[in-house]
Chains A and B, each alone.
Chain A
Amino acid sequence: MSVEQSWPLWEVFTQGNQGEPFEHAGSLHATDAEHALQNARDVYTRRGEAVNLWVVPSSAITASAPSDAGPFFEPGNEKAYRHPQFYKVPQGVRVF
Protein backbone atom coordinates (compact mmCIF):
# COMPACT_ATOMS: atom_id res chain seq x y z
CA MET A 1 0.00 0.00 0.00
CA SER A 2 1.10 3.53 -0.60
CA VAL A 3 2.94 5.50 2.04
CA GLU A 4 0.39 8.33 2.13
CA GLN A 5 -1.90 6.17 4.15
CA SER A 6 0.04 7.13 7.23
CA TRP A 7 -0.42 10.86 6.64
CA PRO A 8 -3.00 12.04 9.16
CA LEU A 9 -6.04 14.12 8.23
CA TRP A 10 -6.18 17.81 9.22
CA GLU A 11 -9.08 20.22 9.28
CA VAL A 12 -8.36 23.68 7.90
CA PHE A 13 -9.88 26.93 9.19
CA THR A 14 -9.39 30.29 7.51
CA GLN A 15 -9.86 33.80 8.86
CA GLY A 16 -10.94 36.07 6.04
CA ASN A 17 -9.99 39.34 7.68
CA GLN A 18 -8.55 40.49 10.97
CA GLY A 19 -11.20 40.22 13.65
CA GLU A 20 -13.47 37.84 11.75
CA PRO A 21 -14.22 34.34 12.99
CA PHE A 22 -12.29 31.37 11.68
CA GLU A 23 -14.33 29.33 9.25
CA HIS A 24 -13.93 25.72 8.27
CA ALA A 25 -12.51 25.55 4.73
CA GLY A 26 -11.94 21.83 4.26
CA SER A 27 -9.47 19.12 5.11
CA LEU A 28 -6.21 17.72 3.83
CA HIS A 29 -3.58 15.10 4.56
CA ALA A 30 -0.13 16.09 5.79
CA THR A 31 2.78 14.56 7.67
CA ASP A 32 2.82 17.11 10.50
CA ALA A 33 1.39 20.46 11.58
CA GLU A 34 3.84 22.61 9.66
CA HIS A 35 3.36 20.56 6.50
CA ALA A 36 -0.41 20.84 7.00
CA LEU A 37 -0.11 24.61 7.30
CA GLN A 38 1.85 24.86 4.05
CA ASN A 39 -0.54 22.55 2.21
CA ALA A 40 -3.50 24.49 3.57
CA ARG A 41 -2.04 27.71 2.22
CA ASP A 42 -1.56 26.13 -1.21
CA VAL A 43 -4.96 24.46 -1.38
CA TYR A 44 -7.30 26.89 0.37
CA THR A 45 -5.86 30.40 0.07
CA ARG A 46 -4.75 30.87 -3.53
CA ARG A 47 -6.91 33.97 -3.98
CA GLY A 48 -6.49 35.96 -0.82
CA GLU A 49 -9.13 34.06 1.13
CA ALA A 50 -7.29 34.33 4.43
CA VAL A 51 -5.08 36.41 6.67
CA ASN A 52 -4.73 33.58 9.19
CA LEU A 53 -4.91 29.81 9.12
CA TRP A 54 -5.57 27.14 11.70
CA VAL A 55 -4.88 23.47 11.11
CA VAL A 56 -6.25 20.97 13.60
CA PRO A 57 -5.82 17.19 13.59
CA SER A 58 -9.24 15.86 12.60
CA SER A 59 -8.93 13.26 15.34
CA ALA A 60 -8.82 16.08 17.92
CA ILE A 61 -12.30 17.31 17.08
CA THR A 62 -15.25 16.13 19.13
CA ALA A 63 -18.57 16.90 17.49
CA SER A 64 -22.18 16.83 18.60
CA ALA A 65 -24.50 14.35 16.96
CA PRO A 66 -27.03 15.72 14.46
CA SER A 67 -29.70 13.48 15.98
CA ASP A 68 -29.29 15.39 19.28
CA ALA A 69 -29.82 18.75 17.58
CA GLY A 70 -33.17 19.42 19.22
CA PRO A 71 -32.53 18.71 22.92
CA PHE A 72 -28.82 19.53 22.86
CA PHE A 73 -29.33 23.09 21.69
CA GLU A 74 -32.63 23.73 23.47
CA PRO A 75 -32.36 27.48 24.04
CA GLY A 76 -34.38 27.57 27.24
CA ASN A 77 -37.09 29.86 25.94
CA GLU A 78 -38.98 29.37 29.18
CA LYS A 79 -36.19 31.26 30.94
CA ALA A 80 -37.68 34.63 30.10
CA TYR A 81 -35.49 36.33 32.71
CA ARG A 82 -32.54 35.86 30.35
CA HIS A 83 -33.97 38.49 28.05
CA PRO A 84 -33.95 42.23 28.69
CA GLN A 85 -37.67 42.49 27.93
CA PHE A 86 -38.33 40.59 31.16
CA TYR A 87 -37.29 43.60 33.24
CA LYS A 88 -39.57 46.54 33.87
CA VAL A 89 -38.33 50.08 33.64
CA PRO A 90 -40.11 53.18 35.04
CA GLN A 91 -42.08 55.01 32.36
CA GLY A 92 -40.28 57.78 30.55
CA VAL A 93 -36.81 56.51 31.41
CA ARG A 94 -34.56 55.68 28.51
CA VAL A 95 -32.60 52.48 29.15
CA PHE A 96 -29.90 51.19 26.89
Chain B
Amino acid sequence: MAQTTVPQEDPALLAAFEARIAAGESIEPKDWMPERYRKQLTRMMAQHAHSEIVGMLPEGNWITRAPSLRRKMSLIAKVQDEAGHGLYIYCGTETLGVDRHDLFNQLLDGSAKYSSIFNYPTLSWADMGVIGWFVDGAAIVNQTVLAKASYGPYARAMVRICKEENFHKRQGFEICATLAKGTPAQKEMLQDAVNRFWWPSLMMFGPSDKDSPNSAELLKWRVKRKTNDELRQRFVNLTVPQAQAIGVTLPDPDLKYNAETKNWEFGEIDWSEFWEVVQGNGPCNAERLAARNKAHDDGQWVREAALAHAAKRSAKSSAA
Protein backbone atom coordinates (compact mmCIF):
# COMPACT_ATOMS: atom_id res chain seq x y z
CA MET B 1 0.00 0.00 0.00
CA ALA B 2 1.88 3.04 -1.23
CA GLN B 3 -0.78 5.61 -0.50
CA THR B 4 -3.14 6.27 2.30
CA THR B 5 -6.79 6.35 1.26
CA VAL B 6 -7.64 9.27 3.49
CA PRO B 7 -6.90 12.48 1.61
CA GLN B 8 -5.57 15.43 3.53
CA GLU B 9 -8.25 18.07 3.66
CA ASP B 10 -7.71 21.77 4.13
CA PRO B 11 -8.35 22.16 7.90
CA ALA B 12 -10.10 25.51 7.49
CA LEU B 13 -12.51 24.17 4.86
CA LEU B 14 -13.12 21.04 6.92
CA ALA B 15 -13.86 23.09 10.04
CA ALA B 16 -16.28 25.30 8.11
CA PHE B 17 -17.98 22.23 6.67
CA GLU B 18 -18.35 20.57 10.06
CA ALA B 19 -19.72 23.80 11.51
CA ARG B 20 -22.38 23.85 8.79
CA ILE B 21 -23.29 20.23 9.55
CA ALA B 22 -23.45 21.02 13.27
CA ALA B 23 -25.76 23.95 12.53
CA GLY B 24 -28.09 21.54 10.72
CA GLU B 25 -27.48 23.08 7.31
CA SER B 26 -28.09 21.17 4.14
CA ILE B 27 -25.11 20.46 1.87
CA GLU B 28 -25.73 21.01 -1.84
CA PRO B 29 -23.86 19.53 -4.83
CA LYS B 30 -21.64 22.51 -5.58
CA ASP B 31 -20.69 23.09 -1.93
CA TRP B 32 -17.24 22.10 -0.80
CA MET B 33 -17.27 18.75 0.97
CA PRO B 34 -14.55 16.44 2.31
CA GLU B 35 -13.62 13.60 -0.04
CA ARG B 36 -14.66 11.06 2.59
CA TYR B 37 -18.13 12.59 2.77
CA ARG B 38 -18.43 12.37 -1.01
CA LYS B 39 -17.16 8.78 -0.97
CA GLN B 40 -19.39 7.62 1.85
CA LEU B 41 -22.44 9.23 0.29
CA THR B 42 -21.70 7.76 -3.11
CA ARG B 43 -21.30 4.31 -1.58
CA MET B 44 -24.44 4.54 0.50
CA MET B 45 -26.65 6.09 -2.19
CA ALA B 46 -25.43 3.67 -4.86
CA GLN B 47 -26.19 0.70 -2.60
CA HIS B 48 -29.59 2.14 -1.91
CA ALA B 49 -30.37 2.71 -5.60
CA HIS B 50 -29.19 -0.79 -6.50
CA SER B 51 -31.43 -2.22 -3.77
CA GLU B 52 -34.47 -0.55 -5.29
CA ILE B 53 -33.62 -1.96 -8.72
CA VAL B 54 -32.85 -5.50 -7.52
CA GLY B 55 -35.92 -5.30 -5.27
CA MET B 56 -38.08 -5.47 -8.37
CA LEU B 57 -36.95 -9.02 -9.08
CA PRO B 58 -38.44 -11.06 -6.21
CA GLU B 59 -41.76 -9.28 -6.71
CA GLY B 60 -41.79 -9.26 -10.49
CA ASN B 61 -41.67 -13.00 -10.06
CA TRP B 62 -45.25 -12.98 -8.71
CA ILE B 63 -46.99 -10.50 -11.04
CA THR B 64 -48.28 -13.21 -13.37
CA ARG B 65 -49.47 -15.32 -10.44
CA ALA B 66 -51.20 -12.67 -8.32
CA PRO B 67 -54.49 -14.14 -7.07
CA SER B 68 -56.77 -11.34 -8.31
CA LEU B 69 -56.77 -8.39 -10.68
CA ARG B 70 -56.68 -5.99 -7.73
CA ARG B 71 -53.59 -7.67 -6.32
CA LYS B 72 -51.97 -7.79 -9.74
CA MET B 73 -52.54 -4.07 -10.34
CA SER B 74 -51.05 -3.07 -7.01
CA LEU B 75 -48.05 -5.34 -7.48
CA ILE B 76 -47.35 -3.88 -10.93
CA ALA B 77 -47.65 -0.35 -9.51
CA LYS B 78 -45.34 -1.25 -6.66
CA VAL B 79 -42.68 -2.70 -8.94
CA GLN B 80 -42.91 0.42 -11.11
CA ASP B 81 -42.40 2.54 -7.98
CA GLU B 82 -39.25 0.61 -7.10
CA ALA B 83 -37.82 1.42 -10.52
CA GLY B 84 -38.70 5.08 -9.94
CA HIS B 85 -37.06 5.05 -6.50
CA GLY B 86 -33.89 3.65 -8.02
CA LEU B 87 -33.91 6.44 -10.61
CA TYR B 88 -34.46 9.19 -8.01
CA ILE B 89 -31.42 8.02 -6.09
CA TYR B 90 -29.20 7.43 -9.14
CA CYS B 91 -30.07 11.01 -10.07
CA GLY B 92 -28.86 12.06 -6.62
CA THR B 93 -25.58 10.20 -7.02
CA GLU B 94 -24.85 12.06 -10.24
CA THR B 95 -24.85 15.34 -8.33
CA LEU B 96 -21.77 13.94 -6.54
CA GLY B 97 -19.94 13.70 -9.85
CA VAL B 98 -20.58 10.01 -10.48
CA ASP B 99 -21.69 8.66 -13.84
CA ARG B 100 -24.73 6.52 -13.23
CA HIS B 101 -23.68 4.11 -15.96
CA ASP B 102 -20.56 3.32 -14.01
CA LEU B 103 -22.88 2.43 -11.13
CA PHE B 104 -25.10 0.28 -13.39
CA ASN B 105 -22.00 -1.53 -14.59
CA GLN B 106 -20.85 -2.17 -11.01
CA LEU B 107 -24.24 -3.69 -10.27
CA LEU B 108 -24.15 -5.82 -13.42
CA ASP B 109 -20.63 -7.13 -12.88
CA GLY B 110 -21.37 -8.01 -9.27
CA SER B 111 -18.91 -5.61 -7.65
CA ALA B 112 -21.65 -3.41 -6.12
CA LYS B 113 -23.59 -4.26 -2.98
CA TYR B 114 -27.34 -4.06 -2.48
CA SER B 115 -29.66 -4.92 0.39
CA SER B 116 -29.12 -8.47 1.60
CA ILE B 117 -32.88 -9.06 1.88
CA PHE B 118 -33.35 -9.39 -1.88
CA ASN B 119 -31.16 -12.46 -1.97
CA TYR B 120 -33.88 -14.55 -0.37
CA PRO B 121 -36.35 -16.44 -2.58
CA THR B 122 -40.09 -15.67 -2.78
CA LEU B 123 -41.66 -19.07 -2.49
CA SER B 124 -45.37 -18.33 -2.06
CA TRP B 125 -47.93 -15.59 -2.58
CA ALA B 126 -47.77 -14.84 1.14
CA ASP B 127 -44.19 -13.67 0.57
CA MET B 128 -45.59 -10.69 -1.37
CA GLY B 129 -47.57 -9.70 1.67
CA VAL B 130 -44.75 -10.23 4.12
CA ILE B 131 -42.24 -8.35 1.94
CA GLY B 132 -44.60 -5.37 1.80
CA TRP B 133 -45.20 -5.53 5.52
CA PHE B 134 -41.66 -6.27 6.81
CA VAL B 135 -39.29 -5.19 4.07
CA ASP B 136 -41.09 -2.00 3.06
CA GLY B 137 -41.89 -1.38 6.70
CA ALA B 138 -38.18 -1.58 7.52
CA ALA B 139 -37.44 0.65 4.53
CA ILE B 140 -39.85 3.29 5.83
CA VAL B 141 -38.21 3.28 9.26
CA ASN B 142 -34.83 3.79 7.56
CA GLN B 143 -35.96 6.30 4.99
CA THR B 144 -37.95 8.66 7.18
CA VAL B 145 -34.67 9.29 9.01
CA LEU B 146 -32.71 9.61 5.77
CA ALA B 147 -35.18 12.27 4.63
CA LYS B 148 -33.36 14.50 7.14
CA ALA B 149 -29.90 13.57 5.86
CA SER B 150 -27.41 16.40 5.53
CA TYR B 151 -26.99 15.98 1.77
CA GLY B 152 -29.82 17.88 0.05
CA PRO B 153 -30.34 15.76 -3.08
CA TYR B 154 -30.42 12.52 -1.04
CA ALA B 155 -32.82 13.96 1.52
CA ARG B 156 -35.15 15.25 -1.21
CA ALA B 157 -35.17 11.89 -2.98
CA MET B 158 -36.10 10.27 0.34
CA VAL B 159 -39.00 12.65 0.94
CA ARG B 160 -40.38 11.66 -2.44
CA ILE B 161 -39.81 7.96 -1.76
CA CYS B 162 -41.39 8.01 1.71
CA LYS B 163 -44.61 9.36 0.23
CA GLU B 164 -44.82 6.32 -2.03
CA GLU B 165 -43.49 3.70 0.35
CA ASN B 166 -46.54 3.81 2.62
CA PHE B 167 -48.67 2.35 -0.13
CA HIS B 168 -46.26 -0.57 -0.42
CA LYS B 169 -46.43 -1.34 3.25
CA ARG B 170 -50.20 -1.03 3.44
CA GLN B 171 -50.82 -3.31 0.46
CA GLY B 172 -48.47 -5.88 2.00
CA PHE B 173 -50.12 -5.78 5.39
CA GLU B 174 -53.54 -6.05 3.75
CA ILE B 175 -52.44 -9.23 1.96
CA CYS B 176 -51.22 -10.64 5.29
CA ALA B 177 -54.37 -9.67 7.18
CA THR B 178 -56.49 -11.29 4.45
CA LEU B 179 -54.52 -14.54 4.55
CA ALA B 180 -54.62 -14.53 8.35
CA LYS B 181 -58.42 -14.66 8.17
CA GLY B 182 -58.37 -17.31 5.44
CA THR B 183 -58.35 -21.09 5.32
CA PRO B 184 -55.95 -23.10 7.51
CA ALA B 185 -53.72 -23.59 4.47
CA GLN B 186 -53.60 -19.82 3.87
CA LYS B 187 -52.79 -19.16 7.50
CA GLU B 188 -50.04 -21.71 7.35
CA MET B 189 -48.63 -20.17 4.18
CA LEU B 190 -48.59 -16.76 5.89
CA GLN B 191 -46.94 -18.07 9.03
CA ASP B 192 -44.29 -19.82 6.95
CA ALA B 193 -43.51 -16.59 5.07
CA VAL B 194 -43.31 -14.66 8.35
CA ASN B 195 -40.95 -17.28 9.76
CA ARG B 196 -38.66 -17.06 6.74
CA PHE B 197 -38.58 -13.24 6.45
CA TRP B 198 -38.50 -12.06 10.07
CA TRP B 199 -34.78 -12.46 10.77
CA PRO B 200 -33.57 -11.36 7.32
CA SER B 201 -35.77 -8.25 7.75
CA LEU B 202 -34.06 -7.41 11.03
CA MET B 203 -30.72 -7.80 9.24
CA MET B 204 -31.77 -5.11 6.75
CA PHE B 205 -30.74 -2.44 9.24
CA GLY B 206 -27.15 -3.58 8.89
CA PRO B 207 -24.62 -4.87 11.37
CA SER B 208 -24.92 -4.18 15.05
CA ASP B 209 -23.54 -0.78 16.05
CA LYS B 210 -20.40 -2.27 17.50
CA ASP B 211 -19.57 -3.98 14.16
CA SER B 212 -20.67 -1.31 11.73
CA PRO B 213 -17.58 0.07 9.98
CA ASN B 214 -19.20 3.15 8.44
CA SER B 215 -21.77 4.23 11.01
CA ALA B 216 -19.62 6.56 13.10
CA GLU B 217 -18.58 8.65 10.13
CA LEU B 218 -22.08 8.73 8.66
CA LEU B 219 -23.53 9.80 12.00
CA LYS B 220 -20.87 12.44 12.53
CA TRP B 221 -21.76 14.02 9.20
CA ARG B 222 -25.48 13.56 9.73
CA VAL B 223 -25.97 11.41 6.67
CA LYS B 224 -27.46 9.00 9.17
CA ARG B 225 -29.33 10.40 12.16
CA LYS B 226 -29.88 7.17 14.08
CA THR B 227 -27.78 4.04 14.54
CA ASN B 228 -28.57 0.65 12.99
CA ASP B 229 -29.60 -0.76 16.38
CA GLU B 230 -31.86 2.20 17.19
CA LEU B 231 -33.66 1.82 13.87
CA ARG B 232 -33.93 -1.95 14.28
CA GLN B 233 -35.49 -1.51 17.72
CA ARG B 234 -37.97 1.00 16.35
CA PHE B 235 -38.98 -1.43 13.60
CA VAL B 236 -39.48 -4.27 16.09
CA ASN B 237 -41.55 -2.04 18.37
CA LEU B 238 -43.81 -1.06 15.47
CA THR B 239 -44.14 -4.53 14.02
CA VAL B 240 -44.83 -6.75 17.03
CA PRO B 241 -48.27 -5.21 17.75
CA GLN B 242 -49.15 -5.55 14.05
CA ALA B 243 -48.31 -9.25 14.19
CA GLN B 244 -50.44 -9.62 17.29
CA ALA B 245 -53.32 -7.81 15.60
CA ILE B 246 -53.55 -10.35 12.79
CA GLY B 247 -52.64 -13.35 14.94
CA VAL B 248 -49.31 -14.48 13.54
CA THR B 249 -46.35 -15.36 15.72
CA LEU B 250 -42.83 -14.07 15.20
CA PRO B 251 -40.16 -16.79 15.18
CA ASP B 252 -38.27 -15.58 18.22
CA PRO B 253 -38.71 -17.36 21.58
CA ASP B 254 -36.79 -14.55 23.30
CA LEU B 255 -39.16 -11.80 22.19
CA LYS B 256 -40.57 -10.05 25.27
CA TYR B 257 -41.85 -6.65 26.28
CA ASN B 258 -39.83 -4.56 28.66
CA ALA B 259 -42.32 -2.29 30.41
CA GLU B 260 -39.56 -0.09 31.75
CA THR B 261 -37.87 0.76 28.45
CA LYS B 262 -41.12 0.26 26.48
CA ASN B 263 -39.11 -1.84 24.02
CA TRP B 264 -39.76 -5.27 22.59
CA GLU B 265 -36.54 -7.11 23.37
CA PHE B 266 -35.52 -9.68 20.80
CA GLY B 267 -33.11 -12.59 20.53
CA GLU B 268 -29.64 -12.73 19.01
CA ILE B 269 -29.41 -12.21 15.25
CA ASP B 270 -27.40 -14.81 13.33
CA TRP B 271 -24.72 -12.47 12.00
CA SER B 272 -22.83 -15.27 10.27
CA GLU B 273 -25.82 -15.67 7.95
CA PHE B 274 -25.88 -11.90 7.32
CA TRP B 275 -22.19 -11.78 6.34
CA GLU B 276 -22.57 -14.84 4.14
CA VAL B 277 -25.37 -13.16 2.19
CA VAL B 278 -23.52 -9.83 2.01
CA GLN B 279 -20.47 -11.62 0.63
CA GLY B 280 -22.56 -13.05 -2.19
CA ASN B 281 -23.38 -16.48 -0.79
CA GLY B 282 -27.08 -15.99 -0.07
CA PRO B 283 -29.72 -18.30 -1.52
CA CYS B 284 -30.39 -16.09 -4.58
CA ASN B 285 -27.39 -13.80 -5.10
CA ALA B 286 -26.35 -15.47 -8.35
CA GLU B 287 -29.92 -15.73 -9.62
CA ARG B 288 -30.63 -12.02 -8.99
CA LEU B 289 -27.48 -10.93 -10.73
CA ALA B 290 -28.19 -13.18 -13.71
CA ALA B 291 -31.77 -11.86 -13.98
CA ARG B 292 -30.56 -8.25 -13.80
CA ASN B 293 -27.97 -8.89 -16.50
CA LYS B 294 -30.52 -10.61 -18.72
CA ALA B 295 -32.93 -7.70 -18.36
CA HIS B 296 -30.15 -5.29 -19.26
CA ASP B 297 -29.03 -7.30 -22.30
CA ASP B 298 -32.60 -7.83 -23.48
CA GLY B 299 -33.15 -4.07 -23.30
CA GLN B 300 -30.19 -3.30 -25.52
CA TRP B 301 -32.25 -3.05 -28.71
CA VAL B 302 -34.69 -0.64 -27.05
CA ARG B 303 -31.88 1.71 -26.07
CA GLU B 304 -30.39 1.51 -29.55
CA ALA B 305 -33.77 2.12 -31.15
CA ALA B 306 -34.37 5.18 -28.95
CA LEU B 307 -31.07 6.67 -30.05
CA ALA B 308 -31.71 5.89 -33.71
CA HIS B 309 -35.18 7.43 -33.45
CA ALA B 310 -33.80 10.59 -31.89
CA ALA B 311 -31.10 10.87 -34.56
CA LYS B 312 -33.66 10.43 -37.32
CA ARG B 313 -35.96 13.04 -35.82
CA SER B 314 -33.13 15.48 -35.37
CA ALA B 315 -32.00 14.98 -39.00
CA LYS B 316 -35.56 15.55 -40.21
CA SER B 317 -36.03 18.78 -38.26
CA SER B 318 -32.67 20.19 -39.38
CA ALA B 319 -33.52 19.36 -43.01
CA ALA B 320 -36.87 21.14 -42.80
User: Could you say which interface size class chain A belongs to?
Assistant: 20 to 34
CB-defined contacts of A65 to chain B, threshold 8 Å: 30
A46 to B78, CA, bound (A): 11
Closest partner residue, chain A, to B92 (CB atom): A26
A35 adjacent to B87 (CB under 8 Å): no
B91 adjacent to A27 (CB under 8 Å): yes
User: Could you say which interface size class chain B belongs to?
Assistant: 20 to 34
CB-defined contacts of A9 to chain B, threshold 8 Å: 94
CB-defined contacts of A1 to chain B, threshold 8 Å: 101
User: Taking the nearest CB of chain B, how far is it from the CB of A36, in angstroms?
Assistant: 10
Q: Which of B37-45, B65-73, B241-249, B300-308 contacts A (4 or more CB under 8 A)?
A: B300-308
Tell me, yes or no, whether B210 is within 8 Å of chain A by CB.
no
User: Taking the nearest CB of chain A, how far is it from the CB of B252, in angstroms?
Assistant: 37
Tell me, yes or no, whether A51 is within 8 Å of chain B by CB.
no
A6 to B88, CA, bound (A): 20
Q: Which residues of chain B from 267 to 320 have a CB within 8 Å of any chain A CB?
A: 300, 303-304, 306-307, 309-310, 313-314
CB-defined contacts of A46 to chain B, threshold 8 Å: 80-81, 84, 164
A31 adjacent to B157 (CB under 8 Å): no
CB-defined contacts of B91 to chain A, threshold 8 Å: 26-28
Given known A-B contacts A32-B313, A65-B30, A67-B32, A43 and B88 have beta carbons under 8 A apart: yes
Tell me, yes or no, whether A76 is within 8 Å of chain B by CB.
no
User: Taking the nearest CB of chain A, how far is it from the CB of B92, in angstroms?
Assistant: 8
Q: Which residues of chain B from 87 to 103 have a CB within 8 Å of any chain A CB?
A: 87-88, 91-92, 94, 99-101
